[in-house]
Structure 1
């Protein structure tokens, strides 16, 4: 299973950005972690794979439940950060979907938190998670939905206010490998991978964050807003920041934090 142009693009975008992610969007991605582990049935004594561990949040919670955890990520800076934070993990290493260096059926469960968003062949990635989990074991994954929820949509409004156009040529998942980023679409991928007892739910919450933390992600090249930010000259960055301050004002609580409504899709299934 070869990597695609989208896989290569995604890895180049995340190269060396573990610290920037940790300061900005890691807390956002952490919210569904407990529900993700619940959906995979993770508990004490289980051997669990966390694929795309990022800064190690999900893996850390699985360790706290008494699971034996193996955590992998495609980005070396993420692996280094997660390894420093997961002293009780069985292993933290460099590896990426859809090719994992593990034997068939070696885990009781596998989870992937906001990882399927970043792979060029989602069906192959889900299939690989199923390969490394034993029969009757469970898999659980989260993705961001489309259309995007309010918190993520806000960035588009910021750029539109300044007249910044999105890039016209950016690698994307090939049409024949893509799927609707809806509950039915995600459930359909798990079903097509041959998994059983497929479930999908939408999780909604309000993400509370410091305005500087929310700004710092794109300002340091994180995600699609970061790609846009990198392409702008200094004077446009100043205008983007002014629009950001204006448009986020409505979301500021009395304590100065932003309260941003958002959502994620959580799907789980059993390995036959």
Structure 2
């Protein structure tokens, strides 16, 4: 269910929210061992893999959406395996570092996903994961304000059942990594400013994830009013965003 919201939107994501997620990459890669094997799970457009290679890692990516995997493969000049959590076609204990940048908040079974991150990581390896916290991000606050201003309907956005969901916080993410057998070594937040052209963000807001669900639920008249309200904004937008980042290690014994 959660993953289905991100299928078939590769081009729109690349123009919009890929730039948002890329803001966490420096923190995700900071201080990782040089020269080790790194796996990026849910690699999206391949930007984290590219940055990791630039920093000296032997990095590869896997991505569940075929169109996104093809896009990343072209950018990286390398094959990207089409696969996603919790079923990666990779041997256990094969990587010195495993990253999941905004992935565990978009899978159908986050705990099973965390166990798979642990499975493919070697003893002593670092696992780093990011998610968006429970506080609505500023781009969502902006979008919700526009929806309210034009009288938009609010259909329910698909959510995980309570038994599979987890608290979207540093404590909650650390908890599911601990349940997966990992030893959490750091848990906190990272902040940055995301700047995006309004026309690129519009592409994402009207197609990707829960934003797309809300857009598609509106009548043609409401969509037209929403577009007019959006066009009145600045041509380039800036949002002060924050994510949760947790680091854990695979026990050596």
Q: TM-score range by the shorter chain?
A: over 0.9
CA deviation digits over 1:120-174, x for unaligned, max 9?
1111111110110111100001111112122222212221222223213x43212
Please give the secondary structure, in 2, of the residue aligned with 1:263.
strand
Are residue 227 (structure 1) and residue 205 (structure 2) matched?
A: no
Q: In the superposition, relative to structure 1, how do residues 183 and 197 fare at CA in structure 2: closer, same or farther (>3 Å)?
A: closer
Matched, 1:15 2:7: yes
Q: What corresponds to 2:250 in structure 1?
A: 271
1:53 match: 43
Secondary structure, counterpart of 2:240 in structure 1: strand
Secondary structure (helix, strand or coil) at the match of 1:78 reads: helix
Q: How many residues align?
A: 251
Determine the structure 2 residue equivalent to 1:3: none
Instruction: Report what 1:86 is aligned to.
Output: 76
Task: Judge conservation of contact 1:47–1:108 (CA < 8 Å) in 2.
Answer: yes
Q: For the residues of structure 1 that align with 2:7 and 2:107, how far apart are their CA atoms?
A: 15
TM-score (norm 1): 0.87
Task: Note the aligned Cα RMSD (angstroms).
Answer: 1.6
Bigger mean CA offset, 19-28 vs 229-238? 229-238
Q: Trace 1:58-207 onto structure 2 (pairs within 5 A).
A: 58-87=48-77, 89=78, 91-168=79-156, 170-207=157-194
The answer to whether the Cα contact below 8 Å between 2:94 and 2:121 also exists between their aligned partners in 1 is yes
Q: Secondary structure at the match of 1:58?
A: helix
Aligned with 1:202: secondary structure?
strand
Q: Secondary structure at the match of 2:14?
A: helix
Tell me if structure 2 keeps the 8 A contact 1:47–1:67. yes
**Contact 2:52–2:59 (Cα < 8 Å) also in 1:** yes
Flag structure 2 segments of 5+ consecutive residues without an equivalent: none
Is contact 2:27–2:190 with CA below 8 Å preserved after alignment?
no
3-state DSSP of counterpart to 1:178? coil
Which residue of the partner structure matches residue 241 of structure 2? 262
Following the alignment from structure 1 to structure 2, what is the Cα–Cα distance between the partners of residues 202 and 78?
A: 27
Using the TM superposition, give the Cα deviation of residue 42 of structure 1 relative to its aligned residue in structure 2, in angstroms.
4.6
Whole-angstrom CA distance in 2 between matches of 1:180 and 1:14: 21
Q: Which string of whole-angstrom CA distances, capped at 9 and with x for unpartnered residues, describes residues 81-134 of structure 1?
A: 0000112x5x41100101111111011110011111111111111111011011
Deviations 1:28-87 (A, max 9, x none): 110001211126x152x2111110001111111111122112211110001100000112
Distance (Å, rounded) in 2 between the aligned partners of 1:197 and 1:259: 33
- TM-score, normalised to structure 2, is 0.93
Closer/same/farther in 2, CA of residues 29 and 109 from structure 1, 3 Å limit: same
Distance in 2 (alpha carbons) for counterparts of 1:121 and 1:245: 38
